[in-house]
């Protein structure tokens, strides 16, 4: 089945460490997104990419960076993790010219100590 996968699924790290969250998809979609979700704050967009050469900041990009290595791969990096980056992180994909429906990966639960 065409799918969106995220690795790792859970991660505990310490303040100041650099970490990378990875997203891969087999849906053939060109658009990819990174969100974080915190209780009571909903889904907040960190970065999005509409094709391999296109990277855009979302509403909360500070402290994060991304890399679109291929159409199917979109990675999120926390350069120097801090405790308030503790959250549930989701990758999503969608297709240009389609309904703009976004399909989500299973999420990565990140704890920064």
Partner 1 sequence: QKEVEQNSGPLSVPEGAIASLNCTYSDRGSQSFFWYRQYSGKSPELIMFIYSNGDKEDGRFTAQLNKASQYVSLLIRDSQPSDSATYLCALLPYAGNNRKLIWGLGTSLAVNP
Nearest approach, Cβ of 43 to partner 1 (angstroms)? 5
Give the list of residues 6+ apart from residue 27 with CB closer than 8 angstroms, or none: 2, 3, 4, 93, 95, 103
Contacting residues toward partner 1, per CB under 8 A? 33, 40-43, 45, 48, 50, 56, 88, 90, 99-107, 109
Residue 65 token pair? 């960076």
Nearest approach, Cβ of 104 to partner 1 (angstroms)? 4
Q: Which is nearer to partner 1, 15 or 86 (CB)?
A: 86
Nearest approach, Cβ of 18 to partner 1 (angstroms)? 25
Q: Which is nearer to partner 1, 83 or 106 (CB)?
A: 106
Q: Which is nearer to partner 1, 73 or 109 (CB)?
A: 109
Q: Which is nearer to partner 1, 69 or 101 (CB)?
A: 101
């Amino acid at each position: 089945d065409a799918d969106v996968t995220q690795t790792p699924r859970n991660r505990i790290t310490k303040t100041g460490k650099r970490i990378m969250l990875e997203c891969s998809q087999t849906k053939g979609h060109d658009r990819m997104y990174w969100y974080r979700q915190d209780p009571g704050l909903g889904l907040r967009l960190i970065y999005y990419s509409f094709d391999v050469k296109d990277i855009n900041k979302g509403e909360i990009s500070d402290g994060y960076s991304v890399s679109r290595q291929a159409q199917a791969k979109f990675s999120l990096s926390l350069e120097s993790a801090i405790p308030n980056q503790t959250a549930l992180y989701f990758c999503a994909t969608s297709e240009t010219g389609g309904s703009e429906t976004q399909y989500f990966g299973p999420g990565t639960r990140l704890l920064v100590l």
